[in-house]
Structure 1
Amino acid sequence: MPPRPTASLSLIEQERMIEAILFASAEPLSLRAISSRLPDGCDVAEALETLRARYQGRGVQLGRVGDSWAFRTAPDLGFLMQEATVESRGLSRAATETLAIIAYHQPVTRTEIEEIRGVALSRGTLDQLIELDWVRVGRRRQTPGRPATFIVTETFLDHFGLESARDLPGLAELRAAGLLESRPPAAAMPVVAGDDDADGMVLPQDLYDDE
């Protein structure tokens, strides 16, 4: 493969090239992926930051998704896209609770998920989240048995418009918004084998597809 050309480009020219690359991409791109398409000598990190500032306040904004970058509709205009973004499938209550636990407690093991929910976790629940590419297997714990841990993916962050899991709303914010009911700690509830759809932690009701 011939070496990439080296060019002395102004910051604005670099921004235009990055803008074109991201606009044409169907998924978020990492800084490395963007750099591989540009001539040598480009300061991709600086160009991305100035491009993001340029789009502030616009209907479309440039944002980070984990370690990647993508153009997305401004959060306050999401209501305009509701008809075009109807979900083709919903999550069961068990899957919704499991996803929330992983997002807020990652990296977390299967046993820890069951302790927080207060019910046993069926294999199909994790399989569904992994199939959606919202959850993946993380590093194994350096404890007896070396259990696998689970973490959310960049696909999950992208779907919910988050730069990182740190941007998830806190419990105080959820309670203030009336989206989190008060209930005795789930860890105090007995674990019922196979009862994967029984009541566990209480989550925003508008996230439930079924009971």
Structure 2
Amino acid sequence: MIEAGDCNEGEAAEAFGARHDQLRLVEAVVFASANPVSVADIALRLPAGADVEGLLADLAALYAGRGVNLTKVAGGWAFRTAPDLGFLLRQDAVEPRRLSRAALETLAIIAYHQPVTRAEIEAIRGVATSKGTLDVLMEAGWIRMRGRRRAPGRPVTYGTTVGFLDHFGLESVGDLPGLEELKGAGLLDTVPPSAQGIPGPNDDEALSGDEDPLGDDPGDLLSGR
């Protein structure tokens, strides 16, 4: 911060102009991106040592009372319609494909238990899960194949995507509601077997100790075993 007496009027104007230009650049980078932008990506566009976090905080405050807000989502920053105006724009929104109850339950289980296999999903739901259900969620861009479990049959493991966080307005899977809230909303009726436990949501990109990378065989991307 520039304190009175630290520099002359010309130097103060120059320093203000530099920060103002940086603020405009951050605004442009976030506005032009189709996906949430991380602090690291923004920093690449700014001079070394730029206060990216401070610039984002200033920009968020600037947009706080406007029709669009600067919001932290999916581990990055993006402009989103102000929450109190969303209902006015629903008539212009593209109606998304409505998910079946099975797909909603499957998505919830993957979000909370990832990395999870199809067999584990079925054990939690208590019913068979069709490959079509998983295909719908992958086509929506909400889940992905992570790797293969080190177990007989080498089943594929599933996890959520950045697109899932972005669509549901989450900064991380840690912001998901509790399982009791999901059951209260009718999205999850069953209780995981005691052996399965109820893990904390974790969408770490790194493979866990019992996972191996997907193979180069194209069948890996088609079988979904």
- State the TM-score, normalized to the length of structure 2: 0.66
The answer to whether the 8 Å contact 1:63/1:163 transfers is: no
Is 1:148 the counterpart of 2:156 in the alignment?
Answer: yes
Q: What secondary structure, in the 3-state scheme, does the structure 2 residue paired with 1:38 have?
A: coil
In 2, the alpha carbon distance for the partners of 1:90 and 1:152 equals: 18
Structure 1 residue 35, shift from structure 2 partner: 2.8
Q: Any gaps of 5 or more consecutive residues in structure 2?
A: 1-14, 195-225
Is 1:75 the counterpart of 2:91 in the alignment?
Answer: no
Structure 1 residue 187, shift from structure 2 partner: 5.2
Percent identity for Structure 1 against Structure 2: 58
The number of residue pairs the alignment matches comes to 180
CA offset digits 1:148-186 (Å, max 9, x no partner): 3211111111111111112222234456xx523895637
CA offset digits 1:98-146 (Å, max 9, x no partner): 1121122222222211111111122222122112211112244455555
In 2, the alpha carbon distance for the partners of 1:21 and 1:139 equals: 33
C-alpha change, 1:57 and 1:166, in structure 2 (3 Å) is farther
Q: Whose Rg is larger? A: 2
Q: What secondary structure, in the 3-state scheme, does the structure 1 residue paired with 2:144 have?
A: strand
Q: Look up the equivalent residue of 1:65 and give its one-letter code.
A: V
Select 2:74's aligned residue among 62, 66, 73. 66
Select 2:135's aligned residue among 127, 142, 145. 127
What residue is the counterpart of 2:57 in the other structure?
A: 49
Select 1:24's aligned residue among 7, 20, 32. 32
C-alpha change, 1:62 and 1:143, in structure 2 (3 Å) is farther
Structure 1 residue 44, shift from structure 2 partner: 2.2
The answer to whether the 8 Å contact 1:134/1:152 transfers is: yes
The answer to whether the 8 Å contact 1:65/1:154 transfers is: no
Q: What secondary structure, in the 3-state scheme, does the structure 1 residue paired with 2:141 have?
A: coil
Structure 1 residue 18, shift from structure 2 partner: 0.6
What residue is the counterpart of 2:186 in the other structure?
A: 180
In 2, the alpha carbon distance for the partners of 1:167 and 1:14 equals: 31
The answer to whether the 8 Å contact 1:64/1:70 transfers is: yes
The answer to whether the 8 Å contact 2:36/2:75 transfers is: no
C-alpha change, 1:47 and 1:181, in structure 2 (3 Å) is closer
In 2, the alpha carbon distance for the partners of 1:125 and 1:80 equals: 32
What residue is the counterpart of 2:41 in the other structure?
A: 33
Structure 1 residue 83, shift from structure 2 partner: 0.9
Q: What secondary structure, in the 3-state scheme, does the structure 2 residue paired with 1:29 have?
A: coil
Q: Any gaps of 5 or more consecutive residues in structure 1?
A: 1-6, 189-211
**Pairwise CA RMSD:** 3.0
Structure 1 residue 57, shift from structure 2 partner: 4.5
Q: Look up the equivalent residue of 1:36 and give its one-letter code.
A: L
Q: What secondary structure, in the 3-state scheme, does the structure 2 residue paired with 1:115 have?
A: helix
C-alpha change, 1:71 and 1:182, in structure 2 (3 Å) is closer
